[in-house]
Amino acid sequence: MTILLEARDVTRSFQVSRGLFAPKRRLHAVNGVSLAVEEGEILAIVGESGCGKSTLARMLLGLLPASSGEIRLGGQDMRAMGRLDIARRVQPVFQDPYSSLNPRRRIAEIVALPMEVQGKADAATCRRAALEMLERVGLPERFAQAYPAQLSGGQRQRVAIARALVMRPELVICDEPTSALDVSVQSQILNLLMDLRRDFGTTFVFISHNLAVVEHIASRVAVMYLGQVVELAETAALFEAPRHPYTQALLASALTPEPGLGIPETGLGLAFPDPLDPPPGCPFHPRCPKRIAPCDSLAPPVIREAGRLVACHFAAQPPGTSVTP
């Protein structure tokens, strides 16, 4: 497997102003993330709101520079690459199709944009490519002259997908591409993405908090918590035997279709920590049901074995050791 995109110890922090005279503070939205996207795979990134998934996505797209660390696309540092070079290879699909399409432009113009700005094809070629791509995502030619306001949410997301794929990029980064859609439309969009992936051989980074979707489509899953990757594994292995307590809680929290079972108890409590003031040691320790002695003072060790990555004191212990919290 060749590595298409690689993030090496990537951090992104923001200055947060809390008033005129209060000192500014740094918020680490993404804190030392390393991961590699292999060619042809679907890497899912999961985690609750505010864990830094979307910030990471914006950095992988080259829209936001990393505060430290580096992102390499096809072995080349992204900072050294031109905007158009990155655009040709990586494209996004955003969450909300109601804000990702310019309401003042026609569907064909929106889809043709990535090809048009490359400046290598004339207007007629761009338009033909856009129409062809619209056809591929299931929108016949009569939609080409429409404006986004005339389309439904599912149709708009098809347009966004067509725009992302019109240049046949190697990598598409989907930031929760189905979570703004009706349940009935979600599966259509997912199937469309999978069809296109098969036809074009596109690699996907798939950000989601819908675990059922992730289990269904992803080849590997990275679990993020408070700006860090806490567990990364093959999808089947992760869902069968999650090793990080946070992953375990996340999987336990997934709703089952069985109404009699009620709403699952996560054992996490409600307190998502303040990202401005992250807990010392393991960021997850205040909510962790398996907390042990070093958790609140030492950063957890990163265990790598058999293609898996877990950052946890508890998981690092030899099995069978008795633990007193």
Partner 1 sequence: MAGLAQAGAAAAPPELTQRALLWRRMRGHKGFLAGAILLSLIILASLLAPWISPHDPYAQDLTRRMIPPIWEARGQWAHPLGTDNLGRDYLSRVLWGGQISLLIGLSVMVISGIIGAGLGLAAGYFGGRIDLAITFIITTRLALPVVLVALAVVAMISGSLLVVILILGLLKWDRFAVVMRSATQQVRGLDYVAAAEAAGASTPRIILREVLPNVAPQLIVVATVEAASAILLEAALSFLGLGVQPPLPSWGLMISEAKAYMFFSFWLIAIPGSALALLVLAINLVGDGLRDVLAPDGRA
* Binding stretches for partner 1 (CB under 8 A): 58, 61-63, 83-84, 86-88, 90-92, 94-96, 99-105, 113-114, 117-118, 137-140, 142-143, 146-147, 149-152, 154-155, 158, 160, 163, 185, 188-189, 191-192, 195, 199
| Closest to partner 1 by CB, 166 or 226 | 166
Residue type, 253: S
Shortest Cβ 136–partner 1 spacing (Å): 8
| Closest to partner 1 by CB, 85 or 215 | 85
Using alpha carbons, list the distances in angstroms from residue 123 to 56, 117, 165, 241.
Answer: 34, 11, 18, 53
Shortest Cβ 165–partner 1 spacing (Å): 12
Q: What's the chain's length in residues? A: 325
Angstrom distance (rounded) from CA 299 to CA 297: 7
- CA atoms within a 13 Å half-sphere pointing along the CA-CB vector of 272: 10
Beta bridge partners of 173: 92, 205
| H helix or E strand, kind and range, residue 141 | none
Shortest Cβ 287–partner 1 spacing (Å): 31
Residue type, 93: V
| Closest to partner 1 by CB, 95 or 235 | 95
Shortest Cβ 227–partner 1 spacing (Å): 21
Residues 6+ away with beta carbon under 8 Å from 257: none
| Closest to partner 1 by CB, 173 or 311 | 173
Shortest Cβ 20–partner 1 spacing (Å): 13
| Closest to partner 1 by CB, 207 or 226 | 207
Shortest Cβ 145–partner 1 spacing (Å): 8
| Closest to partner 1 by CB, 88 or 220 | 88
| Closest to partner 1 by CB, 31 or 100 | 100
Shortest Cβ 180–partner 1 spacing (Å): 11
| Closest to partner 1 by CB, 198 or 263 | 198
Residue type, 48: E
Shortest Cβ 85–partner 1 spacing (Å): 8
Angstrom distance (rounded) from CA 240 to CA 243: 10
Specify the 3-state DSSP secondary structure of 163.
helix
Shortest Cβ 135–partner 1 spacing (Å): 9
If you write DSSP's letter for every residue of 24-76 in order, what string do you get? PEEEEEEEEEEEEEETT-EEEEE--TTSSHHHHHHHHTTSS--SEEEEEETTE
If you write DSSP's letter for every residue of 218-262 in order, what string do you get? -SEEEEEETTEEEEEEEHHHHHHS--SHHHHHHHHTSPPS-GGG-
Place of tokens 């969009």: 189
| Closest to partner 1 by CB, 139 or 233 | 139
Angstrom distance (rounded) from CA 223 to CA 325: 24
